[in-house]
Amino acid sequence: MKTELRKKPAARAAVSPTNVEPLDFLTADDKTWMLQKTAEKVYWS
């Protein structure tokens, strides 16, 4: 079962201030999605 990639607006990353952790602008949903994609890459590699 293949899930289609969620397109994320690239602008959001650019707006985050430099004094903040890189992942602070991500929501919990975004982090979950990233973890899932990473797990899939590891699993299928």
Please check whether residue 8 is in contact with residue 30, taking contact to mean a CB–CB distance below 8 angstroms.
yes
How do residues 1-45 score in pLDDT, each as one tens digit? 455 566 655 545 555 555 555 666 678 888 888 899 999 998 887
Instruction: Give the tokens for residue 33.
Output: 């999605």
Amino acid at 9: P
Please check whether residue 28 is in contact with residue 22, taking contact to mean a CB–CB distance below 8 angstroms.
no
- pLDDT for position 38: 92
User: Apex CA 8: angle with CA 31 and CA 44, to 5°?
Assistant: 60
| DSSP result, 3-45 | PPPPP--THHHHHS-TTS-TTTTS-HHHHHHHHHHHHHHHHH-
